[in-house]
Amino acid sequence: NNLALTQQQQVQWYQLAAEAFLGSGQPMQSINARNQLAQQLDPSSPQYHTNLQRIWSTLQQFDLKQLHDRRQPLISPNLKGWIDLALILEQPNQTQPQLIKQHIIMREIVI
């Protein structure tokens, strides 16, 4: 239970957890930890942006089928958005109008 930790301790906790999960071959758990970490960081900080880049680089380890398999209704909306973005960008031969349509659909889902 990390609720008793200070904010800085929570940041360190999620950073270590993310690295441990990734190092032990559990990339989705690593992404979940980084998603929690993002909630503890200031969105204007370099650390926040580095964390987002690490989420994205970890997602890029999955192929299209793996992304579809991990897109389950029980995951957080934030994580689902990351996976949706990765799925959109993994589809070959997307035209600009198709990407715009996908973006509009994703916005409606999020809102």
pLDDT confidence bin for 106, thresholds 50/70/90: low
Structure confidence at residue 101 (pLDDT): 65
Q: For residue range 9-51, what is the model confidence (pLDDT) as tens digits?
A: 999 999 999 999 999 999 999 999 999 999 999 999 999 999 9
Q: Please report which residue ranges of 1-111 form alpha helices under DSSP H.
A: 7-23, 27-40, 46-59, 64-70, 77-90, 96-110
> What's the pTM value of the predicted model, to 2 decimals?
0.72
Q: 37: which residues sit within 8 A by CB, 6+ positions away?
A: 11, 14, 15, 18, 51
Nearest Cα to Cα of residue 67 among 84, 51, 81: 84
Looking at residue 105, its pLDDT comes to 55
Instruction: Report the distance separating Cα 35 and Cα 32, nearest Å.
Output: 5
Mean pLDDT of the chain: 82
